[in-house]
Structure 1
Amino acid sequence: MIYVDDSGHPQSGLVVYGWVEFTPDHWPTALSSWLQNHKRLWREHRIPVTQELHTTEYVNGRGRITKRMPDRHVHDGVEYWKDFGREVAVECLETLRSTEGLRLGAVYRRGDPGDLARTKQQAYAALVERFEKELSASNSLAMVFMDGDGSDTSYRSTHRKLQLRQRRVIEDAIHIDSRTSQLVQTADLVAWSANACIDQHARNEFAWEWYEKYLSVRDPDRFPREI
């Protein structure tokens, strides 16, 4: 089971895909680990278990994910949402690092900023090819789950170009709304952290080393790879 989400920097033509994966027998462990993290966030920060953790929103201080800001992030009556969001992100990263049976990874591709759709399609096709090779080597099958409503037909066409008798990824990518999928939210965090590692600009300096510090232990490649 492979949960995938995308990130990147459209202005520079950078496309990033991040994912988490595990065998079906580890699905309960992976989901339980993330849900336990959510319950802890509720106890400690009053972040509802049903609250979507969309990394771009809460790490950059735009998402109001709690109604009770911890006192340590309130100074002279001002709530520091960025500091709070980054603390939450680190707790989530720690959860991924310690989840039994979980593997993850990230890949990226640079292309023409004026034709980002083409770069995304090429990057996704290369990612699926990578999955196919790995699955073939282990004589395994897999299903891919992604955020979205499936309106982007390029994902479907990528899968349908594969040779049916040889393909290892079952069906097209299955699209799920990230607001209701805890595990797609984990892939979002991986993709965002990979993007911060690759596209190192000043406003994300706090996260430049997140991938290496928290996620590389779960990534067989250790770092995001260019494809």
Structure 2
Amino acid sequence: MKALRHLLVLAAAGLGTAFLLAGCEITPDLNDPVRFGPFYAPRNFAGEKQMPADVRRVLVLPVALGELGPEETAVTLDAAVAQALQVQQRFEVVPLPRAELRRLFGLPEISSTAAMPHGMLDELAKRYAVDAVLFTDVTVYQPYRPQSLGLRSKLATTRDVRLIWTFDEVISASDPAVANSARRQPFIEAQGRSPVDLSPATLLSPSRYAAFAAGEMFRTLPPR
């Protein structure tokens, strides 16, 4: 009798787990705006019509967070930016660690609007054999709900020192279009596989939201 009761308990637990897992795989309700939008579309960016053929290897500078957060947060954003950039496959991505930037120029980060140390681009181009350098600044950082991340980024060539792409927007989850796009991100990443997390986790996790925002930004890079 005890053995039978034990089996029934295990079966019930298994069914409960199955229901929970199944809940993660349920597609959105027909009226859920994650199905039909509106969705976020960046507007404040500019760039060449096509990625220059000679830009094959790009050095990614540490994110300039400034006084908006601690260095631990900046390091997390560094990883989000590098990963989102690699997904786009426009060029080879070469992340520059903060410690290395500090060793070379005495600074852990350099804003795209700040005066650069003398000869910086030439030094980086020679040392890392790169064709361009990517600067990324955080202009707004609100890691609590509704999350908001302001990103300003510039891609500059090292040989003739010209901008081939710029982006400057505040991506805020208070905008329904942004929230829909952030919630839709797990479906895009899953590519038809399951289970898919249907919870608003992207809107709650600062690291996941940063990854989403960086991905939206780098989608506007000139095509290869």
Q: Which of the pair is proportionally richer in helix? A: 1
TM (norm. structure 1) is 0.25
Which TM-score applies when normalising by structure 2? 0.26
The structure showing larger relative contact order (alpha-carbon pairs under 8 Å, at least 6 residues apart) is: 1
Higher Cα Rg, which structure: 2
